[in-house]
Amino acid sequence: MGIIETGTVSGNLPSKETFVMHYPGYPSSISRALETLGGIQGITTARESTSNKLELHFRPEDPYAHPAWGERRPFNGFLLKIYKEDVKRVPETHPVLATSGACPSLCADIVARVSESYCFDGMVDYQHVIPIHADVAQQRKRKWMEVKPLAGNDDLMDMADEDVMMLLPQFFAPKDMPDNLVLKLPGTSGPKKKDEAPTQNLCEDDIGPIPKVLNWEDFIVPSSNQWQWQSAVSALFDERPVWTRDSIVQRLLDKGLKCTHHMLNRFLLRSAYYFSGGPFLRFWIKRGYDPRKDPESRVYQRMEFRVPPELRGYCDANASNKSKRSWEDICAFKVFPFKCQTFLQLFELEDEYIQREIRKPPKQTTCNYKTGWFSEALLDNLRLRVAVRFVSVFPEPGFEDVFKSIQDEFERSEKTRIQKDSLTSCKPDHLEKIKGGEDTKKNKNTNKEKEVSADEDAEDVDEEYEELDVAVDDDDEISLSSHGYGEMENNNSRTYLQGLFDRFPSSKPALDGTDSDGEYQIYEQESNALDDDDEDDGDR
């Protein structure tokens, strides 16, 4: 306890800690404020969760009310208990005139230390309030029974006895946090709009040459510190042509070299350049080297990892953590990154599956602006593999279902990609087989036609029909292999019916002897059988 004198108070610092909430309003009572925050249970749940935010409903009874969110931040303060107390004071002068009385003084006690606070910095837009007190408002209006005789029975709805359905939007404002917007200027009111200039694709060949090699030795004094720095940076690009900035900083720190961000950019621009888009976005590339023309550069492409929404509370809680993770540990999947979005290089990832896939021969002959030298299916598969490795080292328990869902999605993606690749690889072989089979059958038919024409005069009629039957059979085989299942049935039925019709003698007179001989040869078996029966009857 201490008396407040000249705005100061003295006392012992307690060991108890607490937190404070900067309530964005003036509640009618403490109980109402606790109700809008979800009660003691809601505050306890928010304190134990990793989302790092406290939810505030200004109207808990309204399910359509847009909540406000309070963010937890570090705070340095004390909780004071202020009260008045009567303190007796002894007069120093005029003891005869003074009276021994007690005068009230303002006192304060230090209750606890405040280490955290919840701040509501967001905007709360206006809300459409549901008419909860409709009964009270209805008494102040005119009764609908007085309006009905004037307007008729069907002109107005009977709203006194029925509920009115109200369709309310969930949110009125698209933003919660204040933001500066740069509005686009309105276009000219002319009759014709100017055609927009065509955008250039970064991976096209007509965008201009890449930066040439620069002789930086002509601009730096050999005995200066910049010479040592520039030599170290140039040596990295002699080791490999494409680097990430984080990897460059890590390698230089391992050598004991440290400089500012601005100076490092100067050293890098003397030895390298970068693209503002494409598969090598923001990666530093050696001067004179074009990764769009070298298929071996596919191992240096960019890979992105985004933390799943269920795990982003961990990143928000460690946003102010000054302890920086080692880039080598991140690329080796030993630690979980603090950032919600991390850009990696495929070459640096220590994963056997990823290294095996990126070193396979490329199936594309050109570098694509979106996917580079890889297919989109393979990049999605590798992205899921990176997510599986990072989620497997997530430090907090209770997220095994997230890991299992990503693992299952990765396995499905891999199976789909393998099946698609196998179907794509089988198509050229299948086309070559069909083409080769058609050529073989054409040669076979040509040879048979030549044999028939060469031996036509020498062979008798029976052998000629046998060869024709063989040729018909061959034609049927070609049609079966080249047509569908329905045509195959039609050809079989047509051939069978034609054979049945040909067994009966023709009613037309023979116009040519050759035709009659042919007809006779076709029905030779049945005519012989009838002649045999007649001869037997005659003998008898």
Whether residue 531 is found in the same domain as residue 399: no
67 is written with which tokens? 């909540």
Please give the full DSSP string across 35-73, using - where no structure is assigned. HHTTHHHHHHHHHHSSS-EEEE-S-TT-TTPPPEEEEEE
Among positive and negative, which fits the CA dihedral 488, 489, 490, 493? positive
How far apart are alpha carbons 387 and 336 in whole angstroms?
10
pLDDT attached to residue 132 = 53
11-15: list long-range contacts, CB under 8 Å, 24+ apart. 11/108, 11/109, 11/110, 12/110, 13/78, 13/110, 13/113, 14/110, 14/111, 14/112, 14/113, 15/113
Pick the closest to residue 257 from 248, 265, 269, 270 (CA basis): 248
Whether residue 378 is found in the same domain as residue 242: yes
Whether residue 281 is found in the same domain as residue 411: yes
Whether residue 112 is found in the same domain as residue 221: no
Cβ atoms of 464 and 456 within 8 Å: the answer is yes
Range of the domain at 539: 503-540
Domain contains 463: no
Cβ atoms of 337 and 307 within 8 Å: the answer is yes
pLDDT attached to residue 324 = 74
Domain contains 433: no
Domain contains 372: yes
Cβ atoms of 1 and 107 within 8 Å: the answer is yes
* Other beta carbons less than 10 A from residue 65's beta carbon: 19
Whether residue 235 is found in the same domain as residue 115: no
pLDDT attached to residue 285 = 93
Whether residue 365 is found in the same domain as residue 224: yes
Whether residue 272 is found in the same domain as residue 414: yes
Domain contains 447: no
Residue 74, helix vs strand vs coil: strand
Domain contains 84: yes
Among 423, 454, 481, where does a domain finish?
423
pLDDT attached to residue 432 = 52
Domain contains 429: no
How far apart are alpha carbons 499 and 472 in whole angstroms?
13
Among 374, 393, 423, where does a domain finish?
423
pTM above 0.75, yes or no: no
pLDDT 10s digit of each residue in the chain, 540 long? 567 777 777 778 888 899 998 988 888 899 999 999 999 998 998 888 888 888 888 888 877 777 888 888 899 888 888 888 776 655 555 444 444 455 677 888 888 989 999 988 876 655 555 555 555 555 555 455 555 555 455 444 444 444 555 555 555 566 667 777 777 777 665 555 445 444 444 444 445 688 888 888 888 888 888 888 888 999 999 999 999 999 999 888 888 888 888 888 888 998 999 888 889 988 999 999 999 999 999 999 999 998 888 888 888 887 777 677 788 889 999 988 888 888 999 999 998 999 999 998 888 888 888 889 998 889 998 999 999 999 888 888 888 888 888 888 888 888 888 888 777 766 555 555 555 555 555 554 544 444 444 344 444 434 443 443 433 344 333 333 333 333 433 444 455 555 555 555 554 444 444 443 333 333 333 344 434 444 444 444
Whether residue 408 is found in the same domain as residue 276: yes
Domain contains 455: no
Domain contains 464: no
Cβ atoms of 348 and 287 within 8 Å: the answer is no
508 is written with which tokens? 């037309």
How far apart are alpha carbons 533 and 540 in whole angstroms?
11
Among positive and negative, which fits the CA dihedral 143, 145, 150, 156? positive
Assign residue 65 the CATH number of its domain: 3.30.200.160
Q: How many domains does the chain have?
A: 3
Among 361, 393, 423, where does a domain finish?
423
DSSP state of 8: B
384 is written with which tokens? 């899921």
How far apart, in Å, are the Cα atoms of 71 and each of 56, 311, 317, 320, 341? 11, 17, 10, 13, 21
Among positive and negative, which fits the CA dihedral 140, 146, 150, 156? positive
Whether residue 250 is found in the same domain as residue 360: yes
pLDDT attached to residue 68 = 85
* Other beta carbons less than 10 A from residue 227's beta carbon: 14
